[in-house]
Amino acid sequence: MSKIHTAFEKGKAFIAFVTCGDPDLETTAEVVRSAVANGADLVELGIPFSDPTAEGPVIQGANLRALAGGVTTDKIFDFVKDLRKDVAIPLVFMTYANVVFSYDAEKFMARCRDCGIDGLILPDLPFEEKEEFLPICRKVGLDLISMIAPTSEDRIQKIAKEAEGFLYIVSSLGVTGTRSEIKTDLESIVAHVRANTKIPCAIGFGISTPEQAGKMAAVADGVIVGSAIVKLIEKHGKDAAGPVGEFVRVMKEAL
């Protein structure tokens, strides 16, 4: 069992997403440490991919910048190992199935274990096809985190019952990105989830303001923020650690 559950033990969890290597891995390390110092309970580390189908233009741009800067999966594994010298909170990778396939799934999961990763999110992996990776994840103690979308409907019960780590509830249809308003009936989705599992659930996609974070935290066990953080990194570049830390502090207080 991974330590992901510890992120939810002190109340509502704030989960921050960053793209590894945007603008470089040194800056990513500073941003992660600043986020942790300011209250992040779990960090999702995006492994860049050339065709990130779940992402909107903000995170797509970060992927392209990171790849253009020469980041590789091997460099990211080494980066996480170094991060683990002083970062104790749960860390999960978010990437795409092709990244794992092309690296070799057995080797990829083993390196996740060796560098200190607790879980894996693959947005393009259908729930019905997770057996392709699940046994390998379990062998190394890695949680394969499932996602529930507004269209999951009849599948929510099954996904919830088999969930590991935490459940990622997608707030809205479409790709990642900030949204002025979230209209999905998340209360009923979360109620359905909680009727079928004790695994914590966190809401992501579109959350960018303290007000939105507070509303989502009232419904779920945590909130996930990605595009708003990646925008700050795009704006401030190598000086992003301070602004990201302040943003995380304000968002965490809103929970």
pLDDT of residue 130 exceeding 80: yes
Spatial distance between the Cα atoms of 75 and 25, rounded to a whole number of angstroms: 9
pLDDT at position 183: 47
Which pLDDT does position 44 carry in this prediction? 98
Q: What angle do CA 233, 166, 49 make, to 5 degrees?
A: 40
What pLDDT is recorded for position 224?
96
pLDDT tens readout for residues 37-57: 999 999 999 999 887 666 778
Residue 152 has what pLDDT? 79
84 pLDDT higher than 60: yes
Name the pLDDT band for 1 (thresholds 50, 70, 90). low
What the chain holds in terms of domains, given with CATH numbers, is 4-144+208-254 (3.20.20.70)
For 192-220, letters b (16+ CB in 10 Å) and e give bbbebbebbbbbbbbbbbeebbebbbebb
Q: Specify the pLDDT at position 186.
A: 86
Taking only the tens place, the pLDDT of each residue in 165-201 is 999 999 765 444 444 444 467 888 899 899 999 999 9
Mean pLDDT (the chain) is 92
More reliable by pLDDT, 145 or 192: 145
Residue 23 has pLDDT above 80, yes or no: yes
Backbone angles phi, psi at 15, to 5 degrees: -115, 120
Q: What is the mean pLDDT of residues 138-145?
A: 96
